[in-house]
Each structure stands twice: as C-alpha cells, then as structure tokens.
Amino acid sequence: DHHVNYGSGSGLQDRVAFVQNDPSQYDASIRLADLQVSDTGTYQCRVKKNTVAVHEVIVTVQEKPAIPQCWTEGELIVGGSILLRCYSR
C-alpha cells in the first residue's frame, strides 16, 4: 500500500523510509536510521501484489558499552609482575 505503519508511540516516523522511492517496483526494503535500544522488537514486512506475503524479522539493538576504566596493581619492576584491571558499566 506504499506506506509504513510505525505502531503507536514508537518514535520511528522520522527514521524509517523505503530504500527505493517506489516500493511497487519489487523492492519494499526499508531503512531504519539512528538505531536505538528501544528499537528492539519484531518488524513485519507485508507485501501485496496478487497475493499477500508476510515476513517477520526480529531486531535486537544492544547498547554500546561505556569506556572502560583501567588501572594497574603492583609495582613496575623489570622481571616482576603487574596486574592491569579494567572495568566497564
């Protein structure tokens, strides 16, 4: 039907568009820009020409980890041992 159903309150209106200007030309692919963790979910493509074809895709968006905090434990001596510890939220 040449339109995207965004769902209620999804915030996708400005970030989803067809890849091709005219999806009736056999490419109804969509592009989801600026992915966010809240975009995780099941997306459905429903194409209707002579019959209706439906395909679902599960999208999982994971959050980028924070920059790790690192420090050393032990004395820096030639031939000795030192421990490098790192932590990230």
Predicted TM-score (pTM) above 0.85: no
DSSP for 8-56, please give it: TT-S-TTTEEESSS-GGGT---EEE-S--GGG-EEEEEEEESSSEEEEE
* Residue 85 to residue 39: CA distance in whole angstroms: 34
Delimit the domains of the chain by residue range: 1-88
Mean pLDDT of the chain: 84
Q: What is the mean pLDDT of residues 40-66?
A: 86
Q: What is the pLDDT of residue 8?
A: 65
**How much is the average pLDDT of 51-70?**
88
pLDDT digits (tens, 9 = 90+) for 27-46: 878 888 988 888 898 888 88
Closest residue by Cα to residue 18 from 45, 40, 48, 39:
45
Tokens 């809240």 appear where? 38
Look at residue 88 in the predicted model and tell me its pLDDT.
83
